[in-house]
Amino acid sequence: MTDRNELLFNESKQYIPGGVNSPVRAFGSVGGIPRFIRRAKGACIWDENDRRYIDYVCSWGPAIVGHAHPEVIKAVQEVAESGLSFGAPTEGELLIAKEIHKLMPSIEQLRLVSSGTEATMSAIRLARGFTKRDTIIKFEGCYHGHSDSLLVKAGSGLLTFGNPSSGGVPADFSRHTLVLPYNNVDAISKTFAEMGNQIACVIVEPFAGNMNLVKPTAEFMQTLRACTQQHGAVLIFDEVMTGFRVALNGAQSIHGITPDLTTLGKVIGGGMPLAAFGGRADIMASISPLGNVYQAGTLSGNPLAVTAGLKTLEIIQREHFYEHLTAATEKLMQGLQEKAQQHGIPVLTDSVGGMFGIYFGLENLPQSYADMQKCDGELFKQFFHAMLEEDVAFAPSPFEAGFVSIAHKDEFINTTLEKAEMVFAKMK
Ligand SMILES: *Cc1c(COP(=O)(O)O)cnc(C)c1O
């Protein structure tokens, strides 16, 4: 049988760089042929060979109610009949702004945009415009989209400014971005003590999910809030991944910390291009047309995306949604860890809400990017490919978190654990 995935991948490479429209999809860190997906339903995806996989990528987070949820699809189909985009305000935008404010009260006002990258980029510009300061702080291993200021990696030494982590980013831009180690309280305190009056904002993933799952300590989060408050800097929670994923009211509700600004994406679009940034009304007043910080978007607040988002936000508020999501995720993680350890494979796991991390070759749960670097990439690769052969699709990189949806019922979790047991036995 011809492998249509391979066929399409090879032809795509001729017309699309690397054959993909976002780099991780190319299977670069695991090798092999990415699956081209034809359709998805509930907890499963089907590739171009019509082979079915249990899916733990969930479109990198958005598919929290399961793929192609009938109510979401129906709502989008209905609204599509009335037109795809108007470039004028619509009632749906007001409804979703009110809904998000209800669920995350720290978001007094918000702007809708079309991607997480736009949300974080705009939030940073807003923080700089509001404080009239240039320097920003991010943390090593956190990802906030691909805008210039944020594609920066740590320089050498704790208090040095970052270096571009991508070609095409002027070193002059990265000069304004400080990169500190995640969970390092001293680095934060010291930086604010030395140059607090120059810092526009701190942007942080309140559970890091782009270096696999790394949880912050309570002390770290409290220090961020205290230092920013004391020095008049804006605290931005990048909840593009964690928002409505780790809990109904976001990571901020788990930590009990109120950020000044929050960025959202992924889940709020229910699979369509929708993201947002928002927070304190006095800060949001700096955005044009009220203030002098410019930000705009032709398709911002697109009616189809807003409809998919509103329906998704409705479904996740139904009774016991997060209890079930969390229980399924914990069952999967505990099962994987137990079965791996029974077969002598060094695996640790962790989760929060419907988001999880699987770590190969670590003795303790990771606290930072440096810890994550010690993971055993070869073991992960073996596990990833063996599971894919068993029709279970995990994220194709050891540095990505995984996701469970409400459609991952017991039968899927049990099947996954049975397959994992076989895989671990063979890895031994
Ligand atoms: C995915 C992600 C982004 C970028 O969102 P895009 O929609 O891919 O541009 C930003 N921040 C975090 C924390 C993310 O997980």
Cis bond before residue 70 (omega within 30° of 0):
no
Residues 243, 413: Cα–Cα separation, whole Å: 24
pLDDT-derived band at 158 (thresholds 50, 70, 90) equals low
* Domain final position from 316, 338, 366: 316
**Could you tell me which residues are beta bridge partners of residue 39?**
46
Angle (nearest 5°) at CA 212 between 206 and 218? 30
pLDDT digits (tens, 9 = 90+) for 116-132: 999 999 999 999 999 99
For 226-236, how does the pLDDT look when each residue is reduced to its tens digit (9 = 90+)? 999 999 999 99
Q: Is 284 left (phi over 0), alpha (psi -120 to 50) or beta?
A: alpha
Probe ligand 1: pick from 60, 118, 144, 244, max atoms within 8 Å of CB?
Answer: 144
| 337-353 tens-digit pLDDT | 999 999 999 999 999 99
Residue 21 has pLDDT above 80, yes or no: yes
Task: Give yes or no: residues 256 and 225 share one domain.
Answer: yes
Six token digits for residue 266: 């992924």
State the pLDDT at residue 1. 74
Question: pLDDT band at residue 155, thresholds of 50, 70 and 90?
Answer: confident
**Cα(264) to centroid(ligand 1), Å:** 8
Closest CA to 273 of 57, 400, 112: 112
Q: Within 13 A of 146's CA, how many CA atoms are on the CB side?
A: 6
Nearest to 261 by CA among 238, 293, 294: 238
Question: Which atom of ligand 1 is least distant from the CA of 117?
Answer: 9
Q: What is the 3-state secondary structure (H, E, C) of 54-68?
A: EECCHHHCCCCCCEC
Shared domain for 381 and 302, answered yes or no, is: no
Nearest in space to 173 (alpha carbons), one of 141, 129, 125? 125
- Together in a domain, 162 and 307: yes
- Measured between alpha carbons, how far is 5 from 66 in angstroms, rounded to an integer? 23
When pLDDT is averaged across residues 92-115 and rounded to a whole number, the result is 98
C-alpha 411 – ligand 1 centre gap (Å): 31
Confidence of residue 156 (pLDDT cuts 50, 70, 90): low
Split at pLDDT 50, 70, 90, the class of 157 is low
Number of domains in the chain: 2
Pocket of ligand 1 (CB under 6 A): 115-117, 120, 143-145, 205, 209-210, 238, 240-241, 265, 275
Q: Are residues 419 and 274 in the same domain?
A: no
Beta-carbon contacts of 105 under 8 Å, excluding residues fewer than 6 positions away, are none
- Atom 10 (ligand 1) nearest CA: 144
pTM of the model: 0.98
User: Is pLDDT at 42 greater than 70 in this prediction?
Assistant: yes
Index of the ligand 1 atom closest to the CA of residue 266: 7
Distances (CA, A) of 11 to 6, 284, 392: 9, 46, 26
- 3-class DSSP state for residue 250? helix
Q: Are 302 and 258 in contact (CB under 8 A)?
A: no
Where is the domain boundary, 316, 345, 368?
A: 316
- The CATH number assigned to the domain holding 292 equals 3.40.640.10
Please report, for residues 176, 191, 262, 422, the alpha-carbon distance to residue 124 in angstroms, rounded to integers and kept in the order given: 12, 19, 11, 47
Whether residues 367 and 326 share a domain: the answer is yes
270, 286, 316: which is the final residue of a domain?
316
Task: Looking at the structure, tell me whether residues 305 and 342 fall in a common domain.
Answer: no
Choose among 183, 219, 226: nearest CA to 204: 183
Categorise residue 402: left if φ over 0, alpha if ψ from -120 to 50, beta otherwise. Answer: beta
pLDDT digits (tens, 9 = 90+) for 51-92: 999 999 999 999 999 999 999 999 999 999 999 999 999 999
Distance of CA 308 to the CA centre of its chain: 18
353 and 423 assigned to the same domain: yes
Same domain flag for 197 and 77:
yes
How many Å apart are CA 113 and CA 276, to the nearest integer?
5
**Cβ neighbours, 10 Å, residue 109:** 17
**C-beta atoms surrounding 413 within 10 Å:** 21
CATH number at residue 413: 3.90.1150.10
Enumerate the active-site residues: 143, 238, 266
Q: What spatial distance separates the first Cα and last Cα of the chain, rounded to whole Å? A: 31
Statement to judge: residues 249 and 379 lie in one domain: no
| pLDDT tens sequence across 386-401 | 999 999 999 999 999 9
116: CA distance to ligand 1 center in Å? 4
User: How far does the centroid of ligand 1 lie from the alpha carbon of residue 333, in Å?
Assistant: 24
Same domain, 104 and 223: yes
Give the chain's mean pLDDT: 97
37 & 149 share domain: no
| Secondary structure (DSSP) of 348-393 | EEEEETTEEEEEES-SS---SHHHHTTS-HHHHHHHHHHHHHTTEE
CB contact at 8 A, 338 and 424 = no
Do residues 349 and 323 share a domain? yes
Domain containing 326 equals 4-68+319-427
In this predicted structure, what is the pLDDT of residue 154?
82
Q: How many CB atoms lie within 10 A of CB 249?
A: 16
E strands of 161-307, at which residues? 163-164, 177-180, 199-204, 234-238, 261-264, 275-279
